């Protein structure tokens, strides 16, 4: 790799490589070589794993009140091929990718190529500089998306929103009280209510406790004026 290209990649990534030979491998697509072992496929495999670990750790540390399902939804969106392709396109990483002649016309159009090269760059940084260097790079390029994904998730996570509001407004943590349950074991429904300090809010039913808790939290947010009652067709 020539000095100018190396300099451009280091400027783009914000990382200075000690072993520049890793970059040749990172930007060599399998269509450009006779032996796929000399392509970036193995780095893509490694980069995918490093990316997933860093994002999972970031979500685990940032959102201590989120359940596993909430974290999984955000993580799945962030590490998706579509998201990786968007970030790679924004950085212009695919411009440095060496591909076979038959792939040239499709380079800018291929989301898979763009996503893959982001993962190979992550792996290259990891191999060259270790986990901390790769983590710094990933968090830098995913920062805005982390915040956006959390905001989108919070819109449907009424328990998290209520907990944040209750702690800021009342210095208290909501508690959920099981009031009733009906139906056979294989098809039960549960009624729960929210309490904040000594205040009770309107209860809600759900097909499982988690659903009932979310609905009860929604009722509490309505009563507190944090949310407005959605307009239905019958109201119009």
Catalytically annotated residue among 48, 70, 128, 213: 48
Q: Is 150 a catalytic residue?
A: no
Counted residue by residue, the chain has a size of 236
CA pair distance 44, 122, nearest whole angstrom: 8
CA pair distance 24, 6, nearest whole angstrom: 10
CA pair distance 115, 130, nearest whole angstrom: 21
**Structure-block tokens of residue 11:** 């400027």
Q: Which among 167, 159, 146 is positioned nearest to 67, based on CA atoms? A: 159
User: Tokens 């579509």 — which residue?
Assistant: 82
What backbone phi and psi angles, to 5 degrees, belong to 190? Answer: -125, 140
Q: Is 48 a catalytic residue?
A: yes
Catalytically annotated residue among 44, 70, 119, 193: 119
Give the pairing type, strands 175-182 and 199-200.
Answer: unpaired
Q: What amino acid positions are annotated as catalytic residues?
A: 48, 119
């Amino acid at each position: 790799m020539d000095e100018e290209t190396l300099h451009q990649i280091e400027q783009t990534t914000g990382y200075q490589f000690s072993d520049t030979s890793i970059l040749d491998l990172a930007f060599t697509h399998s269509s450009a070589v006779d032996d796929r072992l000399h392509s970036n496929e193995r780095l893509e495999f490694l980069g995918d794993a490093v990316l997933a670990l860093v994002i999972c750790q970031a979500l685990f540390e940032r959102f201590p009140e989120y359940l596993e399902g909430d974290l999984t939804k955000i993580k799945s969106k962030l590490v998706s091929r579509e998201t990786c392709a968007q970030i790679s396109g924004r950085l212009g990483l695919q411009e440095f990718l060496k591909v076979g002649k038959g792939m040239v016309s499709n380079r800018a159009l291929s989301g898979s190529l763009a996503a893959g090269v982001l993962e190979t760059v992550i792996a290259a940084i990891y191999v060259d500089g270790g986990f901390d260097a790769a983590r710094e790079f990933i968090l830098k390029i995913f920062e805005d998306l982390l915040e956006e994904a959390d905001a989108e998730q919070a819109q449907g996570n009424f328990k998290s929103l209520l907990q944040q509001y209750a702690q800021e407004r009342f210095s208290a943590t909501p508690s959920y009280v099981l009031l009733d349950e009906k139906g056979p074991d294989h098809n039960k429904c549960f009624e729960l209510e929210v309490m904040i300090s000594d205040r009770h809010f309107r209860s809600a039913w759900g097909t499982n406790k988690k659903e009932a808790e979310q609905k009860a939290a929604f009722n509490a947010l309505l009563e507190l004026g944090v949310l407005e009652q959605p307009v239905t067709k019958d109201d119009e």
